[in-house]
């Protein structure tokens, strides 16, 4: 069911509690040849600093923290993302409402589906866009059941093509992202575009990924800017200077 504006968790808390859900694109921590070579640190780094620079009252929540690295200065770092996780696995996780109610967010950011479409999750076999979208919808509904009035910001996912420019893989991302438009409408989630104008080629080919999958630091910064713009456009934040 669509969650109306009047059903929002108001009055808002003094500090917005934001839960970031997803896979390694949200978690960060991918390293190169050595642990000192941090390849992706997550959009959360830039987003945290945007909140800080604008004097926003925000607390990231979740059972995990980091990634810890000398090149990243976390102001908070809490999250609930798991590398390699698919939407169906995320669904299983959020069906346990206990950790959600402990985290008690009033805003949830979701970027999921990449591992479903690539077959790079624990299952190892690509899933259809329709199956991934159906599970993503159920994820949102489970969160709404656990946290009545919570605001969900749902991302149309970042492009990835691990086989190196496979048009078939690229097409599944477009299809999935199109289905998420309906998911957002059906659930009342706020849709944010993390796909358009991103190039799945590696940065050494002029693209926005490290290795056809994970966004570069520059692309992560752009993702953070898009989360920030969506949160403000939909008046979701409690208050910023």
Residue 8 has pLDDT above 60, yes or no: no
CB 154 within 8 A of CB 180: yes
pLDDT tens profile 25-75: 999 876 555 555 557 779 999 999 999 999 999 999 999 998 777 677 788
What DSSP element (H or E) covers 12?
A: none
How far is it, in rounded angstroms, from Cα 10 to Cα 19? 18
Kind of pairing between the strands at 190-193 and 107-111: unpaired
Strand partners, 16: 58
Note the pTM of the prediction, 2 decimals.
Answer: 0.91
**Would you state the pLDDT for residue 6?**
39
How far is it, in rounded angstroms, from Cα 2 to Cα 99? 24
Q: How many CB atoms lie within 10 A of CB 188?
A: 17
């Amino acid at each position: 069911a669509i969650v109306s504006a009047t059903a929002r968790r108001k009055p808002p808390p003094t500090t917005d509690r934001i839960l970031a859900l997803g896979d390694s694109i949200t978690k960060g921590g991918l390293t190169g040849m050595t642990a000192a070579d941090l390849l992706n640190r997550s959009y959360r780094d830039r987003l945290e600093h945007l909140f800080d620079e604008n004097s926003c009252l925000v607390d990231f929540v979740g059972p995990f923290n980091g990634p810890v690295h000398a090149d990243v200065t976390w102001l908070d770092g809490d999250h609930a993302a798991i590398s390699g996780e698919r939407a169906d696995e995320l669904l299983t996780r959020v069906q346990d409402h206990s950790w959600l109610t402990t985290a008690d967010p009033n805003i949830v950011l979701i970027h999921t589906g990449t591992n479903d479409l690539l077959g790079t999750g624990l299952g190892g076999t690509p899933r259809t866009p329709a199956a991934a979208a159906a599970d993503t919808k159920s994820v949102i509904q489970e969160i709404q059941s656990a946290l009545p009035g919570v605001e969900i910001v749902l991302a149309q996912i970042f492009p990835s093509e691990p086989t190196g420019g496979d048009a078939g893989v690229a097409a599944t991302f477009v299809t999935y992202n199109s289905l998420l438009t309906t998911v957002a409408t059906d659930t009342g989630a706020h849709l944010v575009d993390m796909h358009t104008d991103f190039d799945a080629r590696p940065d050494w080919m002029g693209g926005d990924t490290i290795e056809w999958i994970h966004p570069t630091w520059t692309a992560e910064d752009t993702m953070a800017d898009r989360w920030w713009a969506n949160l403000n456009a939909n008046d979701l934040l409690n208050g910023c200077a």
